[in-house]
């Protein structure tokens, strides 16, 4: 399924980490840019322990969470009822085509090397003119992009190495060629130099 999954004890630790300042910024961005209502169908890809699901549950008609980690899905099931939870890689799901009004992928994309497959899958499951929220980070330092590629080659056969696969801003934007950018917000990452966090609202065209 890929190296980026957060499984077992690491999933529990991630879920127990507590909310950071960024969590509020991301939540506010989603709430301010989404139309809520009983007819709205939302899919949260790489849902992890379900923080985005918790944020929107009960405010939209249908909420689906997808994660490739069985432990993350178990954690979601323990605390969330009334949502559909799917254990699957987000590169290829069995979800219906042209079904969702919104797809959200928050801090998931940088865990996955096969980003084009994820974006194609998102395009498939979104309704025409459906919206995509991407919250993630890219390298502003191009040397880091090259180093990621080199490490990926060197450690190809070690499934536990390199569970992040971050790319540049240009490469990120070119992933979304089939979408129209409605909103783009960039945050400075205080902790890690050479990395920038972004929040996009994109429309399927």
With CB under 6 A as the contact rule, the residue among 6, 73, 125, 132 that binds ligand SAM is 6
User: Does 111 contact ligand SAM by CB under 6 A?
Assistant: yes
Instruction: Kindly state whether residue 108 participates in binding ligand SAM, applying the rule CB under 6 A.
Output: yes
112: contact with ligand SAM by CB under 6 A:
yes
- Answer for which of 74, 92, 107, 196 binds ligand SAM (CB under 6 A) is 107
Shortest Å distance, C-beta 110 to ligand SAM: 8
Q: Residue 106 or residue 131: which is nearer to ligand SAM going by CB?
A: 106
Which of 33, 74, 71 lies closest to 55, judged by CA? 33
- In the shown chain, the binding pattern of residues 50 to 69 toward ligand SAM, with x for contact by CB under 6 A and - for none, equals -x---------------xxx
The length of the chain is 205
Query: What strands lie across the sheet with 60-67, from one edge to the other?
Result: 84-87, 60-67, 37-45, 100-106, 126-139, 195-204, 179-188
Please, which residue, 72 or 132, has the CB nearer to ligand SAM? 72
- Interface residue with ligand SAM among 46, 55, 76, 122 (CB under 6 A) is 46
CA-to-CA distance for 145 and 167, rounded, in angstroms? 6
Q: DSSP assignment of 58-79, as one string?
A: TTEEEEEEEES-HHHHHHHHHH
Is 76 a residue that touches ligand SAM (CB under 6 A)?
no
* Binding flag, residue 43, ligand SAM (CB under 6 A): no
Based on the number of CB atoms within 10 Å of its own CB, is 13 exposed (0-12), middle (13-18) or buried (19 or more)?
exposed
Q: Which residues contact 179 (CB under 8 A, 6 or more apart)?
A: 123, 132, 202, 203, 204, 205
Q: Which residues bind ligand SAM (CB under 6 A)?
A: 1-2, 4-6, 46-48, 51, 67-69, 72, 89-91, 106-108, 111-112
């Amino acid at each position: 399924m890929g190296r980026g999954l957060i499984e077992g004890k690491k999933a529990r630790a991630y879920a127990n980490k507590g909310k950071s300042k960024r969590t509020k910024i991301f939540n506010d961005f989603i709430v301010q840019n989404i139309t809520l209502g009983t007819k709205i169908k939302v899919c949260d890809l790489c849902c992890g322990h379900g923080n985005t699901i918790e944020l929107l549950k009960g405010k939209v008609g249908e909420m689906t969470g997808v994660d490739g980690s069985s432990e993350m899905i178990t954690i979601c099931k323990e605390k969330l009822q009334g949502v559909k939870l799917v254990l699957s890689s987000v590169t290829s799901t069995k979800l219906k085509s042209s079904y969702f009004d919104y797809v959200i992928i928050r801090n998931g994309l940088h865990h996955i090397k096969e980003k084009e497959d994820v974006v194609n899958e998102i395009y498939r499951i979104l309704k025409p003119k459906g919206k995509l929220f991407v919250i993630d980070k890219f390298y502003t330092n191009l040397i880091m992009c090259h180093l990621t590629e080199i490490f990926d080659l060197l450690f190809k056969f070690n499934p536990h190495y390199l569970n992040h696969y971050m790319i540049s801003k240009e490469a990120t934007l070119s992933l979304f060629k089939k979408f129209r950018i409605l909103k783009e917000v960039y945050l400075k990452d205080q902790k890690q130099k050479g990395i920038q966090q972004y929040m996009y609202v994109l429309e399927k065209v």
